[in-house]
Amino acid sequence: MTYYRYHFSFGQGLTPAVKNLMIATGVVFLVQQILRTISIDVYIYYFLSYFALDPEKVWNQYYIWQLFTYIFLHGDFFHILFNLFSLWMFGGELESYWGRRRFLFYFFFCGIGAGIFTVLLSPYPVIGASGAIYGILLAFGWLFPNRPIYIYFLFPIPAKYMVIIFGLIEFFSSGSAGGGVAHLTHLGGLVFGLFFMAYPAIRQKLRREYYKRKWSQRGPGGGYYH
């Protein structure tokens, strides 16, 4: 568990997109608990079968919507608590920095991207917003690299190092499905988040190289060699 000294109070930090994501996730979790109470068979063989991310169903039955719906499902109270707490703690500042639309695009880009990563590399079904949350952690460390994060409320560490530590943990754990933790999905969120954050700089560099090459090919009098 991580914590950092947020410069807003709780009410001010609950930005509109973050609030709506938290409400939607909470409502879906409530539906999960109701269905589980009414009939565990209906919950597992119908609800989870259609809305959890199952790579086999995506490949063989084209359940493409699962790449979106799995984000809102959670396994237990502590699973949803950690994700919603992290969403509030880091997502609010990202939304304030980017604006609502860009923040939501990034959230689902990382969440769906983490799902694609999972479908390509793992046979195991997954649920949860953790892939999107790990993308949010990466963006926070990228934009606010020296912001102190308090590990277990005690030890301050700059956000950039926290992201590196989390990334290494997920990378070296990605070959294991033990403990019910979707390490590959977490890693996928980090990978897609890194691509999103680095893409503008990569595009600018490629554009400079293109025009540099184009200029070097110009012949005398401004013409081009053939």
Residues 6+ apart with CB under 8 A from 102: none
Which of the residues 130, 174, 176, 226 is marked catalytic?
130
Say if residues 29 and 46 touch (Cβ distance below 8 Å): no
Q: Please count the CA atoms within 13 angstroms of the CA of 76 that sit on its side-chain side.
A: 3
176 is catalytic: no
7 is catalytic: no
Closest CA to 112 of 90, 137, 95, 129: 129
| HEC per residue, 39-64 | CHHHHHHHHHHHHCECHHHHHHHCCC
Say if residues 56 and 123 touch (Cβ distance below 8 Å): yes
Which residues are catalytically annotated? 130, 186
